[in-house]
Amino acid sequence: MAIAMEETVNPMQFTQVFKVTPEMIDDNHHFNNVWSVKWIQDIAIAHSDSVGGTQLMKSVGAGWMIHVQHIEYKNQAFLDDEIRGTTWVAAYGRVASLRKCRFERISDGKVIFESETQWVLVDLNRGRPMAITDEMKKLYVEGV
């Protein structure tokens, strides 16, 4: 089910560096896809923490839950690769946001994978979607 969204103007980007470690290598001798999902979540949380979004969300008894996620794998990553992740909130709806991520190998700039995740803001006491406030949106936009 699609949720109507409005594109974010001047989204604030957040960058974090990750490293491929031995436990992330699978039987095919490359970075296992399971870690991609973890990195997408980790960078989203770190971005939210850095702008005060996590604190604000907790103060109103809310949490983000994934509604839809798409990951496109473009190149393989290998042991000891350093990967730069970049994320931003690309669009907002009444109860959902669209967060995009790009992960690229630092040594050669090759994109390893990109993602689009639709997160729904949920009232944790009621277990129901809740409206995203303007105060929350402004945390992720440059120059507001």
pLDDT tens for 51-60 read: 999 999 999 9
In a domain, 79, yes or no: yes
Using DSSP's 3-state secondary structure scheme, residue 47 falls into: helix
State residue 99 phi and psi, 5-degree precision: -105, 130
**pLDDT score of 10:** 80
In a domain, 1, yes or no: no
In a domain, 123, yes or no: yes
Average pLDDT, integer, range 130-142: 92
Structural domain that includes position 95: 6-138
User: The domain that contains 10 carries what CATH number?
Assistant: 3.10.129.10
In a domain, 144, yes or no: no
Long-range contacts of 45-49 (CB under 8 A, 24+ apart): 46/14, 46/16, 47/14, 47/87, 47/140, 48/139
Average pLDDT, integer, range 37-52: 97
Q: With bands split at pLDDT 50, 70 and 90, how would you rate the model's confidence at 142? A: confident
**pLDDT score of 2:** 67
**pLDDT score of 132:** 96
Average pLDDT of every residue of the chain: 94
Report the domain count for the chain: 1
